[in-house]
Structure 1
Amino acid sequence: MAEDSDVTISIRHIHAYDAIAATGSTIAAANELGVSQSNVSRLLQQLELYLGVRLFERDKNRLSPTREGLQIGPQIRAISDRLTSLKVMAQELEHGRSQEIPLRLAFPASLSVTLVPRLIKRFLRENGPARIEVKSGNYLSIERMIADDEADIGFTRLPESTLGLKHERLLPSRNICVLHRDHPLSGRDGLTVTDLKGNDLILLNNARPVRHELEALLYNHGLRQRPAIEAHSVGCACALAAEGLGIAVVGELIAREYTELPLAFVPLEPALTLNYALISSERAPLSKVAVAFLRCLEDWI
């Protein structure tokens, strides 16, 4: 059979072959595909012209594969299987359920071991299976993960230090005092800088801009003592306070994730505001699975 270079093969030709091979009849194949028998016969003829070989022989009202058809058939069916798989993948992507594209999250360690596991559990319960990657780091490293397309959604403190980031949600907060629930000051409705004098303080490390703002606040109100302990995360500071080692002055938004510890959370007066944000990259829109995850964050926000 000579090849016809003018024939253009489409998905319809592959589906027609697949149906004929499965049923052994152009009539049954037409019924399966919901088209006319003449349409199926024409598609088969065009496919045979394109390949340059006859794929089926008629044998008592039934189509049987030729020798060439037996050799080529598995490859044609493989194309059909790939097309079906491609369609399923596309539908999963459309509905945000594809496991081919992971949901990549970047959160500070203090939230990665508290908030994030709860959110992922809820997300999977409401949206079905998904492939998820959780990364942790300091705020600068999280920003770089987002900017370098190594994560889809990140959590940082404002103002950010990296260009090319988009604020998906703004998260206002404030500094509060976190202390053991048996501490003499734990029952107060608020603590002033004067109240902190003479108490061991637990502060976040001095590489952070918010630490400088806090020290300026303390200094302006006459408190010039050095911290008893410096911590590198809010979670660590809260754990230290839970051991009765001092009063931690940290951001309320993250500190409230540690309510299971024997702690009291008391506002600091005057208030020192903090602002956090959920961020993504300006260069690419969020995937549907990432948008769905953001919805799970609404109650927490």
Structure 2
Amino acid sequence: MTIRHLRVFSAVCACQSVTKAAKKLYISQPAASGAIAELEAHYGVRLFDRIGRRLCLTQAGERFLSYTNRILGLFDELEHTVELEGKGILRVGASITVGTRLLPGIVWDFRQSHPAIAVEATVENSEAIEDRVLHNEIDLGLIEGAVHLPQIRGEVFYRDRMALILPPDFPEDGQELPVSILGEYPLLLREKGSAGREIVDGILSVHGIAAKPAWQSISTQAIVHAVCSGLGISLLPYPLVRDAVERGEVRAARLQGVDLQRSYRLLVHREKFLSPAIRAFADACRRLDAPESGVSLAKEQAPE
């Protein structure tokens, strides 16, 4: 059995046709049929039943496909990892907030000890970064908020707080305002899929506040300018709006009874091999902060 046999089997499963699989792999139909026959002979099982004009997996075939997907996934990752290590490339994805505020400093720190490794950065919202980690499109991800996929492991590496952002002439005074205020004024929020938006939606849900955003944007600065212009209020990471607050362009306040602390997480796929470059970059992330909680990726990766 070879990787070629497994690729033919995987393609036949996906296409439900030997002929279509052969075309997809740019091989002849007899060659594809022969590969399947060799697999069945090697293991002494029938992998497919022919029902009408379709090929359907047998129970043995379904089990074989599960192992095939894992083997091919690991093999592809091996080839890609070796290729990138040879070129000295590390693929990093960051959410918009992390990419704006934290990533430049992390990359600078990493390059002090690994100047020969180029960091390829992708900046998108947290949901997109998590998806890229899942599909091995990036080696590791940096997001704020929770991990949603069981295949991905997350470690807290930094914390900050969000703040209620108000126009400078907002009619209500005080450093702490009731959460009901979120339903009384137009909300200017980040887009769906961002960690900040997830936090706001959670607050609204927990407190039974029905509020439809008047503004949605991927740009924190666009939201700050809109708040400054009196178009509404927002909840944003305080470090990203501190300068605007100090210049008097907007006001910042807390929400009564609401914990606005956020955790930033380093993400890797649970089946990902942690190369020396990945471990070194993770160490650069950890040097930003020393959270008391959070599972160490390095410890989880250690052999039993």
TM-score range, shorter chain: 0.5 to 0.7
Change (3 A) 1:176 1:239: same
CA distance in 1 between counterparts of 2:171 and 2:107 reads 36
Whole-angstrom distance in 2 between the partners of 1:169 and 1:133: 22
Match of 1:155 in 2: 142
Deviates more, 1:258-267 or 1:136-145: 258-267
Q: What residue number does 1:176 align with? A: 163
Cα deviation for residue 266 of structure 1 reads 2.3
TM-aligned CA deviation for residue 107 of structure 1:
0.8
Runs of 5+ consecutive residues of structure 1 not aligned to the other structure: 1-97
- Asked which structure has the greater CA Rg, the reply is 1
On the 8 A contact 1:200/1:228 being kept in 2, the answer is yes
Task: Within 5 Å, give how 1:287-298 maps onto structure 2.
Answer: 287-298=275-286
> How many residues in Structure 1 have an aligned counterpart in Structure 2?
198
Could you say which residue in structure 1 is the equivalent of 2:121?
Answer: 134
Whichever residue aligns with residue 190 of structure 1, its letter is E
User: How large is the Cα RMSD of the aligned pairs?
Assistant: 3.4
Normalised to the residue count of structure 1, the TM-score between the two structures is 0.53
Within the candidate set 253, 265, 268, 1:266 is matched to 253
Supply the distance in 1 between the matched residues of 2:116 and 2:250 (Cα, whole angstroms).
36
Aligned 1:100-119 pairs, distance under 5 A: 100-119=87-106
Deviation (angstroms), 1:162: 2.5
Q: Secondary structure at the match of 1:297?
A: helix
The AA in structure 2 aligned to 1:141 is A
- Matching of residue 246 in structure 1 with residue 235 in structure 2: no
Q: TM-score, normalised by structure 2?
A: 0.53
Alpha-carbon deviation of 1:108?
1.6
**Identical columns (%):** 18
- 1:226–1:142 distance in 2 versus 1, CA, 3 Å: closer
Tell me, yes or no, if the aligned pair for 1:167 and 1:278 is still in contact at 8 Å: yes
Question: Which is further off, 100-109 or 191-200?
Answer: 191-200
CA contact (8 A) 1:140 1:162 kept: no
Distance change (3 Å), C-alpha of 1:174 and 1:110: closer
The answer (yes or no) to whether the contact 1:231–1:237 under 8 Å persists in 2 is: yes
Q: Distance in 2 between matches of 1:110 and 1:196?
A: 22
Query: Contact 1:110–1:235 at 8 Å: present in 2 too?
Result: no
In structure 2, how many angstroms separate the alpha carbons of the residues matched to 1:238 and 1:109? Answer: 15
Whole-Å separation in 1 of the counterparts to 2:275 and 2:221: 30
Contact 1:205 1:230 in 2 (8 A): yes
| Corresponding residue for residue 108 of structure 2 | 121
For residues 146 and 136 of structure 1, the distance between their equivalents in structure 2, rounded to whole angstroms, comes to: 13
Helix, strand or coil at the partner of 1:259? helix
Quote the Cα distance in structure 1 between the aligned partners of 2:281 and 2:206.
37
Q: Which moved more, 1:109-118 or 1:224-233?
A: 224-233
Unaligned runs of 5+ in 2: 1-84, 290-304
